[in-house]
Chain A
Amino acid sequence: MKTFVIEEFYVDEQNRCNFYTVKFDDEDVSETVKFFESYDVEGHEFRDDVLYITVLIEEIAAKGSQIIYRPRDEARALALPPEKMIREINLEYTGNNLRLYYVELRTNIWLLLGGGIAHNLPKGNPPIAFHEAQYFVKKAVEAYNIEYKIHDGRVIPANGTEIIIY
């Protein structure tokens, strides 16, 4: 059995969107920290990509998720990926050569799942495989419904901080 906890990643009262991340209980750091540790490295070929994502997170935090996710009626129909997603939630990616996966629990609460090289590139090896990510999302949604409350742009654990994933 493996469990993970939800940690604050970039949560601030000034933010219009707060970011959380996930950490498996047998790991020292969260999946998102692993992502940054892997690519925010001097001389890494994809360092610019991870720094672009860093700025994008800052911009979304400051201005809100609508800067990349427009409140248009058609938006959800066009969300990627289209077919194999569970219905309640979107999982999208950002970046060029890298993908940082996230779940939008609310427009102002995003859960970062970690990431890696884009799965459609030759070296693509996102740490969380796509189907696993969807299962992960499903569990996060269950947890969101059962064990966590969302209040004032923050995720508040109600029944402990652990979520069983498998």
Chain B
Amino acid sequence: MADDVTTSVAASPATSHPQPATAGRASAARPAVPARGGRRAASSRVRKRLEIAFFVTPALAIFALFVIWPILTAVQLSVYRWKGFGPLVDFVGLRNYVSVLTNEVFTDSLVHNLVIVVMSIVVQLPLGLAIALLLNRKMWGQGLLRTIIFVPYVLAEVIAGVVWFQLLQPQYGVLDTIMAAVGLQGPAQGWLGDPDVALWTVIVVLTWKYLGLAVILFLAGLQGVAEELYEAAQLDGASWWQVQRRITIPLLGPTLRTWAFLSMIGSLQLFDMVWILTGGGPANATTTMATFLINEGTRRQNFGIAGAASVILFVVALVMALAYQHFILRRDTRPDDGGRRAARPRKEATR
């Protein structure tokens, strides 16, 4: 690049054509050198676009087939009354949406989803952070402890669910047996059978399942904190707590915010664990929007209602995701002027 500039600059006083080497004879006959250069740029641009199209098309086609088309079909179904076979003929407009939004089971599901979103973050954030900070210290058995914490996340959700389901059985379950041995007694209807307790039980299991992800992400984020900062802080006589509070956690910000985003979306779409543990019961105490729509669709064959519920779930998730990105993730995704300015002098200095 630098060589190009120097040659063209060197050439310009001698000739009116700035690109003597490549322009060739024909270009000398025509004065429109910039246009020619533009055409060449255009053709390479077209070529580049074709290349992009060539490589992106298969992915886009698959995306369209398996993501866009199902979404459109769901939207289409949501304005019909359809039992699962025969043509779509019974157009009902927005009636399915009204019936979903006025259905107490659905609004309760939405509330359950939101409770799970909040509880996941409120419980897992401090707990995960504490464990990550602990595991980040050099200690014996560090690798083993990290693995143990991460194992629940690696387990298939259904397997974990079935195991927990058996552990939580009333009377004969492991948990109740242990409690009975020390003279305690669980809820009479069991941890999953009591409508007042079931949702909290599910949240405990979810915490167990997903804490590992939080810890691993936080640990990864901690590796990104520059060692010099710790050294500098230590030289200044900062205590371990002060270092964590003033240096580690602020610098972990982007990781924390990204994790919270993933956790939020996951909680909104929660299905498998609830389906295995309670199926949404007892007495609809643990339904989520996803279990609601599966129930309506595959069990009751009200595909229109299920379609409307899925569109509402989509919109809720989209709005929350956009809002989160807009208000919270923005400082991570937007080019940070302050950071750039701070970084640039250092680069120049090293040069």
Does B bind A?
no
Binding site for B on A (CB under 8 A): none
Which B residues lie at the A interface, using CB under 8 A?
Answer: none
